């Protein structure tokens, strides 16, 4: 297919693809089988500037773009989708700090997050708090010299191995505030890991905060209250990442399906000769190309300074649903071998179900798109 991307991005794609195939092909299988992602991947990712790609060098980034980041996540997602998720948590934390931290807070943490020498997590989800963050019950109480945080968080990525966390908590004015918490803080406990059907290797845990003391200088931005503009600016980072990973995942499904269809012989023909297989593969190609162009459009909108909220809601809705369809079609092409343990498409189908649920499930994206439709009609 003809690429509309600048030549340097296609060159960049080639180098990311080589790196991902070389380092992540076998690792993807091991991690799906229960191994954790090893720390040894960090210098490999740092080498290609993966941790800070879309951010400016003024803040420690790589002067790339969201479009470049999208290409990177697509190529990582083609080989090992969970690695893309691992990578983007740091970017989200850095994004939150850049939008809301005081200069000294940002200076202390952002460059280290963007070069991959430190890692972060962010925690808003709680056992009773999903999409509706107004339900949050974790509390920050004012104490001498700072704040005391108590409560539980759930489904938090990367907290067990991170250096720093951004914790969302209810403040004394009953608003929500954010706090920077080193993971060495007394009273902070990482609970049992949460195991999920796909994207295995995502480090997910319940967290407990038992009167964790956070000094005054760690109140993010130096004041209580979360500005919704911060969330609006940061939310698209996660969605561009996830949608790009899904495009790569779909590409892998297509490659696996065509490879299998060429080699599987039934009734004296490779099954790729059958019209039923043509229909499946052609449908997959159409869904992948449409998804790819949508993600590039959303990433370019963000690069051009738009908040890209509606673009990303539309894209996440379409792309994660397309990815579910494509993964199912790839399994169909494989027949029963597509559901056997060890089949790449079996793993990808489990992975894709998770993408539909986090960074805002489809139902929430539909509501966001509908709100925008009401505004423009
Ligand atoms: C791999 C993974 C990593 C994660 N990492 C983190 C992390 O690092 N930090 C963190 O804080 N959280 C994290 N989460 C949690 C994630 O953000 C939550 O799953 C998300 O907030 C949604 O919550 P929920 O699934 O409980 O859905 P709920 O909000 O309880 O929704 C349940 C169902 O109701 C529907 N629904 C809810 N509200 C509405 C509405 N207004 N209109 C229509 N339908 C609605 C939903 O679409 C869904 O179908 C992670 C989750 C996963 C799977």
Written out in words, the top-level CATH class of the domain with range 120-222 is mainly beta
Verify whether ligand 1 is closer than 6 Å to residue 157 (CB atom).
Answer: yes
Domain boundaries, the chain: 7-114, 120-222, 228-376
Q: What is the CATH number of domain 7-114?
A: 1.10.540.10
What pLDDT sits at residue 268? 96
Specify the pLDDT at position 185: 97
Q: Is the pLDDT of residue 152 over 80?
A: yes
Tell how far the Cα of 199 is from the centroid of ligand 1, in angstroms.
16
- pLDDT the model gives residue 243: 97
Q: Within a 13 Å sphere around the CA of 68, how many CA atoms are in the beta-carbon half?
A: 22
What is the chain's length?
Answer: 377
CA distance readout (Å), 329 to 61, 164, 170, 214, 250: 39, 41, 45, 50, 10
- The whole-number average pLDDT for the span 179-207 is 96
How far apart are the CA of 154 and the centre of ligand 1, in A?
11
CA of 81 to the centre of ligand 1 (A): 19
Position 258 scores a pLDDT of 98
Q: How far apart are alpha carbons 101 and 96 in whole angstroms?
A: 8
354 lines ligand 1 (CB under 6 A): yes
Q: What percent of the chain has pLDDT over 70?
A: 99
How far apart are alpha carbons 70 and 50 in whole angstroms?
A: 11
Question: Taking 90 as the threshold, does the pLDDT of residue 41 lie above it?
Answer: yes
Q: Going by CA atoms, what residue is nearest to atom 14 of ligand 1?
A: 155
Span 86-100, average pLDDT: 94
Residue 377 — pLDDT band, cuts 50, 70, 90? low
Mean pLDDT, residues 135-139 taken together: 94
What is the model's pLDDT at position 233? 81
pLDDT for the residue numbered 314: 94
Question: If pLDDT is split at 50, 70 and 90, which confidence band does 223 have?
Answer: very high
Residue 365: pLDDT band with limits 50, 70, 90? confident
Name the pTM for this structure. Answer: 0.95
Fold of 228-376: Butyryl-CoA Dehydrogenase, subunit A; domain 3 (1.20.140)
* Atom number, ligand 1, closest to the C-alpha of residue 157: 8
**Per-residue confidence (pLDDT) for residue 157, from 0 to 100:** 95
Work out the percent of the chain whose per-residue pLDDT is above 90.
86
Provide mean pLDDT across the span 7-36: 97
Write the pLDDT tens digit of every residue in 42-55. Answer: 999 999 999 999 99
Best of 85, 154, 358, 362 to mutate for ligand 1, by most ligand atoms within 8 A of CB?
358
Residue closest by Cα to atom 30 of ligand 1: 130
Q: What is the mean pLDDT of the chain?
A: 95
The mean pLDDT value for 135-163 works out to 96
Q: What is the mean pLDDT of residues 36-46?
A: 95
pLDDT score of 232: 78
pLDDT at residue 226 in the model: 84
Q: Is the CB of 155 under 6 A from ligand 1?
A: yes
pLDDT number for residue 360: 82
In the reported structure, the alpha carbon of residue 285 is separated from the centroid of ligand 1 by a whole-number distance in angstroms of 30
Supply the residue whose CA is at minimum distance from atom 7 of ligand 1: 156
Least confident of 169-178, 301-310, 367-376: 367-376
227 pLDDT tier (thresholds 50, 70, 90) = confident
Residue to mutate, 37, 122, 125, ligand 1, most ligand atoms under 8 Å from C-beta: 125
């Amino acid at each position: 297919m003809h690429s509309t991307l600048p030549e340097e991005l296609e060159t960049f794609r080639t180098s990311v693809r080589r790196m991902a195939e070389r380092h992540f092909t076998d690792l993807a299988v091991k991690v799906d089988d229960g191994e954790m992602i090893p720390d040894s991947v960090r210098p490999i990712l740092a080498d290609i500037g993966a941790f800070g790609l879309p951010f400016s060098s003024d803040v420690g980034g790589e002067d790339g773009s969201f479009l470049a980041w999208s290409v990177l996540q697509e190529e990582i997602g083609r080989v090992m989708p969970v690695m893309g998720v691992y990578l983007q948590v740091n970017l989200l934390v850095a994004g939150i700090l850049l939008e809301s931290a005081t200069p000294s807070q940002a200076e202390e943490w952002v460059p280290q997050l963007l070069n991959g020498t430190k890692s972060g997590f962010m925690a808003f989800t709680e056992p009773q708090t999903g999409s509706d963050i107004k339900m949050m019950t974790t509390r920050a109480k004012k104490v001498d010299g700072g704040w005391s945080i108590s409560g539980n968080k759930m489904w938090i990525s990367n907290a067990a191995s991170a250096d720093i966390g951004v914790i969302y908590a209810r403040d004394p004015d009953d608003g929500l505030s954010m706090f920077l918490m080193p993971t060495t803080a007394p009273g902070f406990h990482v609970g049992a890991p949460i195991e999920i059907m796909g994207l295995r290797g995502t480090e997910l845990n319940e967290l407990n905060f038992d009167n964790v003391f956070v000094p005054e200088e760690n109140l993010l931005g130096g004041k209580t209250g979360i500005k919704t503009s911060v969330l609006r600016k940061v939310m698209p980072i996660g969605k561009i990442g996830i949608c790009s990973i899904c495009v790569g995942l779909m590409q892998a499904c297509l490659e696996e399906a065509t490879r299998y269809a060429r080699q599987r012989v039934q009734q004296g023909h490779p099954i790729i000769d059958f019209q039923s297989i043509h229909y499946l593969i052609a449908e997959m190609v159409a869904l992948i190309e449409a998804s790819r162009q949508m993600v590039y459009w959303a990433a370019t909108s963000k690069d051009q300074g738009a908040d890209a909220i509606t673009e990303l809601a539309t894209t996440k809705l379409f792309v994660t649903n397309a990815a579910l369809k494509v993964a199912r079609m790839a399994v169909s092409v494989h027949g029963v071998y597509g559901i056997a343990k060890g089949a790449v498409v079996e793993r990808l189908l489990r992975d894709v179900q998770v993408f539909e649920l986090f960074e805002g499930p489809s139902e929430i994206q539909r509501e966001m798109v509908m709100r925008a439709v009401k505004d423009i009609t």
